[in-house]
Amino acid sequence: MKIQYYTAVSLDGYIADENHSLDWLFQFGEVEDTSYPDFIRDVGVLVMGSSTYEWLLRNEIYADPTAPKPWPYDLPTWIFTSRTLEKVPGADIRFANGAVEPVYREIAAAAGGKNIWIVGGGALAAQFYEAGLLDEIILTIAPVILTRGAPVFTSRIDSPPLHVAGVRTYANGLTELRLEVVRRGDEGGGMSSYTPIECSLHDQLESLATLGRACRVVYRDDSGEERETEGRLVDVFARGGAEYVRLDSGVEIRLDRLEWVDGVRFGGGEVC
């Protein structure tokens, strides 16, 4: 499971113009001609801010108020807002307000091991980044300059810089830039956003995660109590200098609190 901010952007870093219009983007044609169909296939949950949601209400659902269209996604969608907004009938829409961390566990559980798409805008994507909850930024760059509008990202990222994982040009003039968030301490790693640890524990857990294996996991909670849970390992990742495993239920366990996985005992970062 990856947390991905996937968006189109102007050359000068705006994802909508100052009137929340995307007309500058639509002149390049259909999303089917980009990586979007492949991208959305692996997405389990959408997350967006209220302006993006209201854009969809205005331009998609109620473009013709006499004949409302259905919500275009059949995936659970979280809308971050401090206001009370209407829900599109028949859509799996959930509202959230405030910090992203407390809601994240529920979002990850709903994704069921698939990716989480941060749709926009840039300040919401930055909140996920600041919480250590952003793995990739995938930008489809349009060769236009808007001079004003909604910014693509509002946090500073310069050291370590983002890792350029791929560049792709399309015949219609768009260019896709795939960027990985490099966490502090992982600068030497290059391709990976993990901090590799120097024993087979990381590799073993990573291969369990790759296989999506269901495991019985025993770990210690914050108070040192032993706890047991079951689930599929979906990720092994670093945050704030520590390493974690993430289960498809959204539970995240620090590696140094892990006791057993499927009968294999772990301890002190070594396989015993």
Ligand X SMILES: NC(=O)c1ccc[n+]([C@@H]2O[C@H](COP(=O)([O-])OP(=O)(O)OC[C@H]3O[C@@H](n4cnc5c(N)ncnc54)[C@H](OP(=O)(O)O)[C@@H]3O)[C@@H](O)[C@H]2O)c1
- Identify which of residues 1 and 8 has a Cβ nearer to ligand X in the complex: 8
Residues 72-111 that bind ligand X (CB under 6 A): 80-83, 97-98
7 touches ligand X by CB under 6 A: yes
Closer Cβ to ligand X, 155 or 210, answer by number: 155
The binding track of 22-61 with respect to ligand X, each residue x by CB under 6 A or -, is x--x----------------------xxxxx--x------
187 and 160 Cβ atoms separated by less than 8 Å: yes
CB of 60 to ligand X, least distance (A): 10
Name residues whose C-beta falls within 8 Å of residue 39's C-beta, 6 or more positions apart in sequence.
Answer: 4, 6, 117, 138
CB of 73 to ligand X, least distance (A): 13
Give me the least distance between CB of 149 and ligand X, in Å please. 8
Separation CA 104–CA 249 (nearest Å) = 11
Task: Report d(CA 243, CA 205) in Å as an integer.
Answer: 11
Instruction: Specify the residue, 23 or 198, whose C-beta has the smaller distance to ligand X.
Output: 23
Nearest distance, CB of residue 135 and ligand X, angstroms: 18
Cα 267–270–272 angle (5° rounding)? 70
Q: 230 exposed, middle or buried (CB, 10 Å; 0-12, 13-18, 19+)? A: exposed
Among candidate residues 104, 63, 68, the one with its CA nearest the CA of residue 87? 68
- Should residue 4 be labelled a site residue for ligand X when binding is judged by CB under 6 A? no
* Contacts of 230 by beta carbon, 8 Å cutoff, 6+ apart: 214, 215, 216, 217
Chain residues 141-200 in contact with ligand X, contact rule CB under 6 A: 150
Residues near ligand X (CB under 6 A) are 7-8, 15-16, 20, 22, 25, 48-52, 55, 80-83, 97-98, 119-124, 127, 150
